Amino acid sequence: MLEQTGQGAPKASDLDLFGLLARFAPLIFLLVLMAVFAILEPRFLSPLNLFNVMRQVSIFGLLAIGMTFVILTRGIDLSVGSLIALTGLVAAAVAKGGFESRFAVGTAAEAAGYGWPLALAAAILVGMGCGFLQGLAITKLKVPPFVVTLGGMSAFRGAALLFAGGGPVSGFDEGYRWWGQGYVGQVPVPVIIFAVAAIVAWVVLRYTRFGRNVYAVGGNPEAARLSGLNVDRITLSVYVIIGCMAGLGGFVLSARLNSAEAVAGMTYELTVIAGVVIGGTSLFGGVGTIFGTVIGTMLIGVLLNGLVLNNVSSYVQQIIIGVIIVLAVAFDTFAKSRRKRA
């Protein structure tokens, strides 16, 4: 280890300690938070509650995986909550064969629909299409991602209301519901879907050329362009990816609730962004991992569940989430400045 090299200069050991803390802080905080809630409310560690937390986290987690790709390229997507409502309604409409039988159940209703495979495909395709449109506006029209996705948040919510006439669609067949309510052994199906998606995303970011290109674009877009990378294509692709995740999430959410409606996914974008940033993905781009996103998303899920079990108002929960986002970004900014000085 290098010792102090000048008056006021930090030791290398101090920098290593800070780097270690910055790297594992979300995991440490998650474990501490679970211990605190277990002491305050013994029901917290019950298998039923833990599986419920994981099932709830899985929806946010799917969106957070896509958001990780976007934020790694210095982007943002505020439209994911609205998009999950729109894709959920599309999946429901396909599964029910239209809106004429939106509340119908039984054999006749199932015969009128097109089944869950086409419903899933339709939701993902619509999500990818919406992501493509937003990516196109960002790369070709040069509109900032914040503005484009803020417009998308309003447009997709309006499209969902228009598409379904403002009403919900409910009462799906058993095959459809299994994707949101079913189990494989003791593990809920949504948790398995989230885990598989996280593993695939981890492999893509860590071991593929595309993953390295995503980091390169986020680290320094101009340098990436001069290196021969097609920055616009990579940027466009990450918005297609998050659209795909929103489509999958919309399908799973509607299956879990046995209902799809235009007001689904309200404020999801805040929870998702909080999970990604808390997990260590920098809003300045180029830094972050899928593992960190999983931990950050679980932390948010555990926090919200623990607050509910302790009868904390939902209004207070929103305040806490907002404060956490600000603190996480402040910590990220501080960590970045420390790395530059080092």
Q: Chunked in runs of 10, what are the mean pLDDT values of the chain (342 residues)?
A: 44 54 76 88 84 89 96 95 95 84 54 82 97 96 95 95 87 91 91 96 96 94 92 96 96 94 90 89 89 92 86 83 77 67 62
pLDDT at 44: 86
Contacts of 246 (CB under 8 A, 6+ apart): 62, 63, 66, 80, 83, 84, 87, 127, 130, 131
The per-residue pLDDT for 102 is: 56
| Distance (Å, whole) CA 227 – CA 209 | 14
| Structure tokens, 112 | 């009128």
At residue 339, the pLDDT reads 60
pLDDT of residue 14: 46
Distance (Å, rounded) from C-alpha 124 to C-alpha 203?
Answer: 21
User: Which pair of tokens denotes residue 287?
Assistant: 């830094």
Task: Give the CA count within 13 Å in the CB-facing half-sphere of 73.
Answer: 34
Among positive and negative, which fits the CA dihedral 7, 13, 19, 24? negative
| pLDDT for residue 313 | 84
pLDDT value, residue 341: 65
d(CA 243, CA 133): 10
Q: What is the pLDDT of residue 48?
A: 83
Residue 11 · residue 4 · CB < 8 Å: yes
Q: Which amino acid is at 309?
A: L
Separation of alpha carbons 138 and 148, rounded Å: 7
Cα–Cα distance list, 273 to 45, 53, 68, 72, 75 (Å): 26, 18, 9, 12, 11
Provide the residue ranges of all domains of the chain, joining segments of one domain with +.
51-335
Give the model's pLDDT for residue 188. 92
Helices (H), 41-144: 47-72, 80-96, 107-112, 115-139
Residue 17: CB atoms within 10 Å: 11
How many of the other CB atoms lie within 10 Å of CB of 212? 13
Residue 284 is encoded by which pair of tokens? Answer: 């300045």
- The pLDDT of residue 18 is 60
For residue 69, give the nearest of 209, 218, 191, 272 by alpha carbon: 218
Residue (of 129, 128, 146, 148) closest to 71 by Cα position: 146
Where would I find the beta strands (DSSP E) of 112-267? 169-170, 183-184, 187-188, 259-260
Q: How far apart are CA 122 and CA 300, in angstroms?
A: 30
Query: Residues 220, 73: contact at Cβ < 8 Å?
Result: no
Full-model pTM: 0.87
Q: What is the rounded CA–CA span in Å between residue 86 and residue 238? A: 19
Q: Are 316 and 323 in contact (CB under 8 A)?
A: no
Residue keyed to tokens 């806490």: 320
**Ramachandran region, residue 277 (left: φ > 0; alpha: ψ -120 to 50; beta: rest):** alpha
253 and 88 Cβ atoms separated by less than 8 Å? yes
* Structure letter (DSSP) for residue 42: G
Give the pLDDT score at 100.
Answer: 67
Q: Which long-range contacts (CB under 8 A, 24 or more apart) does 210-214 make?
A: 210/234, 210/237, 214/69, 214/72, 214/73, 214/238
The predicted pLDDT at position 37 comes to 87
